[in-house]
Amino acid sequence: MSFHFGINIQKLTWEQFIDIADAIERSWGHVDSAEKDLLVGNSNESNILCCLLELKEKYPEARFGFSQHTALAKGLSKIAEKGEILISEEIEKIVIEDFKVTCLGMLSIQGMANEILVCKLEEPNKEIIPPKEKPRWPQISRHSQVESLAHHLSVSKALLVVCPTGGGKTVFFNELVDHWQEQKVSYRTTCPSYMRGITFQPVTDLVMQILSIDDIESTAEKQKKIEQKLKELNIADIATSYLTILDFLSLTDEESILEKVELKTRVQVLTDTVAEIIKRISWNTPVALISEDAENMDASSTVFMQHLMTKLAEEDVCFIFSSYLSHINLSGLHEFELKEIEKKDLTKLVEDTIGESMSLPPTTPFHVLQYIGLYNEEKLSYLYKQYQGETSIAGFALSFHDVKTIIRRRFENLGNKKDFIANLSIAGIKIQPDEFPLEKENMDLFEYFTKNGYLQKHVNHYTFTNPTLHDEIYELAPHKRNMHIRFADYYSRLGRHEEHAAFHYSEGENYRRAIEYLLLSARQAVRKGGYESGIEYYKKALELCQRKKDAAELELVIALNEGLADVYRALGEEDKALQYYKVVLDSYKEILKE
């Protein structure tokens, strides 16, 4: 059964118009057309009246009409007083048990030859439970694939989920985690492709979730929660475990316990500590560790996860990685190929969402969702112009463009909000608002872009919903070089963000500062035990010195070679250490000659 409504209200701003349309959409209704100062829509649920009652409270100047006929709904809204919801006789019979209704008698309606019985809807006479809110972004269930993955875990506790970019793996993992809600405790992280390789970042994300401190801002509160968690789990050497975790998460300014042990032992101490925590949690509830886009994982995290899989092989813990590659730098993984969503299902998704049938080319779920987003945005813009009194020759239609064109059109439609999302794309894929140079008046824009499918919100940070979306917006961002330098200066002042500063200085072409911060990043990585990442930073800095001869003074080059030599010596690789010590010695000889 179809129900129609008219909302007669003047002088709505664009934001208010969107707010009303969004509220109706979330209540399983649609705004189908508009006229001057009038919105017209429909729903298959009479419970859409709950939404109209909420809009009545928020917009007391609005007038509402509700009927099983479009023309009648429009006419009722035009004779209603401010704040009234008028209904026709057939609606009164349907809702009389749930709502108080006042009969207004026989009234004349514009466009109707005869008078009709009109009633006014009052408040509900009992608690009305509205239907569950409609998701902002439609999804295709992967239930069979979720069950298939569960079967694979009975064969191997370490899986690599292979899926092409835009194939819907994030939605799949959302469904998987929901499926496991009662069976397993899941911890989940993403390895960004942009600014890739931040030392131990995916591991840090998982550890903070495991210790339940990812939503705590205060350092003191985090320390207290960590101690409490370790006591709850009856960790044997609680003092060492506590200090190790504080070191690893940079939650203490005291002398580092990790720096006191040999370099090779640092990762062992850390993995032993984390493995013991996870093992004890798994004794009560099975544990799943999920790492998305694992092809971007930094070298030290890769080694860490490999050790962790070995240490927890006999426990009720499963490891799930995802990648568009069929092989990543982790061994012992059982491959699980995420099947593509069939074209007929994507076609039906479009048809159900926009109400039109369409022949789609070969495409991906991400591409389809971007099209649906653009369709809804441009249709609302079209309807708002009608609401303002503009007329159009033809109805609204939108061709299915390639994904880059769609993202560019969505970006252009953002108007004065473009700069904000462009700056976020320059800053990174993962954004923590408290670690981002943000004007307070723009704080609400995070929620705006989350609602519109650009970002997804996690406990204490936001991420772009898809690397392709991020990359395209980054390409469209103006003044990238200047913004990179601005971010680099900001992160260099923030402290403990040397790797972010190094990346942005390099992208901003301030190579001198980039080399300085690569040196600091290398030292920081090694101090934590991430010597693999530290070596990469040292080599990257030396490569930059070679390519940009005037970017670094001799003292800085010496420090890089000496630092790299020290790491190799600590690892017992004497030949490599001597190779870099020789460069240091030769450099000092040159200085003495001068």
Cβ neighbours of residue 42 closer than 8 Å, sequence gap 6 or more: 2, 3, 4, 5, 29, 30, 32, 70
**DSSP β-bridge partners for residue 107:** 116
The pLDDT of residue 594? 56
Residue with tokens 């990359």: 471
- Confidence at 109, pLDDT banded by 50, 70, 90: confident
Residue 376's nearest CA partner among 11, 95, 26 is 26
Let me know if the fold of 3-124 is the same as that of 143-337.
no
Q: How many helices (H) and strands (E) does the chain have?
A: 23, 15
Residue 66's nearest CA partner among 125, 82, 386, 48 is 48
The pLDDT of residue 115? 86
pLDDT of 394-405, one tens digit each? 778 899 999 999
Tokens linked to 157: 């506790």
Higher pLDDT, 371 or 443: 371
Other residues' Cβ atoms within 10 Å of the Cβ of residue 78? 17
What average pLDDT score do residues 139-143 get? 89
- Calculate the alpha carbon distances from 328 to 302, 306, 309, 322 in Å: 9, 12, 15, 10
Residue pair 317/279 in contact by the 8 Å Cβ criterion: yes
pLDDT of 235-278, one tens digit each? 988 999 999 999 999 898 877 778 888 888 888 899 999 999 99
The pLDDT of residue 84? 96
Residue with tokens 């568009």: 324
Tokens linked to 73: 């709904």
- Calculate the alpha carbon distances from 507 to 51, 463, 486 in Å: 49, 20, 11
pLDDT of 476-485, one tens digit each? 999 999 999 9
> In the chain, where are the structural domains located?
3-124, 143-337, 342-413, 414-478, 480-593
SS3 31: strand
Per 3-state DSSP, the chain is made up of helix, strand and coil in percentages (nearest 5) of: 55, 15, 35
157 pLDDT higher than 60: yes
Other residues' Cβ atoms within 10 Å of the Cβ of residue 411? 20
- Confidence at 568, pLDDT banded by 50, 70, 90: very high
Report the range of poorest mean pLDDT among 14-23, 349-358, 422-431: 349-358
How many whole angstroms separate alpha carbon 333 and alpha carbon 323? Answer: 12
pLDDT of 49-70, one tens digit each? 999 999 999 999 999 999 999 9
pLDDT of 540-560, one tens digit each? 999 999 998 888 888 999 999
What average pLDDT score do residues 34-49 get? 93
Q: Which helix (H) or strand (E) holds 464?
A: strand 462-464
Residue pair 577/569 in contact by the 8 Å Cβ criterion: yes
What average pLDDT score do residues 139-155 get? 91
What average pLDDT score do residues 226-241 get? 93
The pLDDT of residue 592? 62
Give the phi and the psi of residue 302 in degrees, each rounded to 5.
-60, -45
The pLDDT of residue 449? 95
Domain 3-124 has CATH 3.30.70.1230: yes
Residue pair 448/417 in contact by the 8 Å Cβ criterion: yes
Cβ neighbours of residue 421 closer than 8 Å, sequence gap 6 or more: 411, 414, 445, 449, 454, 473
Strands 99-107 vs 3-8: parallel, antiparallel or unpaired:
unpaired
Q: What percent of the chain has pLDDT over 70?
A: 98
Other residues' Cβ atoms within 10 Å of the Cβ of residue 253? 8
Tokens linked to 160: 């690599």
Starting at the edge strand found earlier in the chain, the sheet holding 462-464 runs 430-431, 462-464, 455-457
What average pLDDT score do residues 281-292 get? 95
Its sign, for the CA torsion 561, 563, 566, 570, is negative
How many whole angstroms separate alpha carbon 48 and alpha carbon 129? Answer: 11
301 pLDDT higher than 90: yes
The pLDDT of residue 593? 62
Q: Which helix (H) or strand (E) holds 323?
A: strand 317-323
Cβ neighbours of residue 547 closer than 8 Å, sequence gap 6 or more: none
21 pLDDT higher than 90: yes
- What is the pLDDT of the chain when averaged over all its residues? 91
DSSP string across 401-449:
--HHHHHHHHHHTTGGGHHHHHHHHHH-SEE-GGGS---GGGTTHHHHH
Q: Which CATH superfamily is domain 480-593 in?
A: Tetratricopeptide repeat domain (1.25.40.10)
Q: Which helix (H) or strand (E) holds 531?
A: helix 531-547
Q: Which helix (H) or strand (E) holds 457?
A: strand 455-457
Tokens linked to 253: 């300014």
Residue 42's nearest CA partner among 66, 23, 59 is 66
Classify 143-337 by CATH class.
alpha beta
What average pLDDT score do residues 301-324 get? 96
136 pLDDT higher than 90: no
How many whole angstroms separate alpha carbon 589 and alpha carbon 594? Answer: 9
Tell which CATH classification among 2.60.40, 3.90.1200, 3.10.20, 1.10.10 matches the domain 414-478.
Answer: 1.10.10
Report the range of poorest mean pLDDT among 73-77, 213-217, 306-310, 376-380: 213-217
How many whole angstroms separate alpha carbon 383 and alpha carbon 511? Answer: 51
The pLDDT of residue 302? 96
590 pLDDT higher than 70: no
Strands 116-124 vs 99-107: parallel, antiparallel or unpaired:
antiparallel
By CB atoms closer than 10 A (0-12, 13-18, 19+), residue 522 is buried
How many whole angstroms separate alpha carbon 521 and alpha carbon 200? Answer: 12
Q: Which helix (H) or strand (E) holds 380?
A: helix 365-387
pLDDT of 453-473, one tens digit each? 999 988 778 999 999 999 999
What average pLDDT score do residues 99-128 get? 86
Other residues' Cβ atoms within 10 Å of the Cβ of residue 290? 21
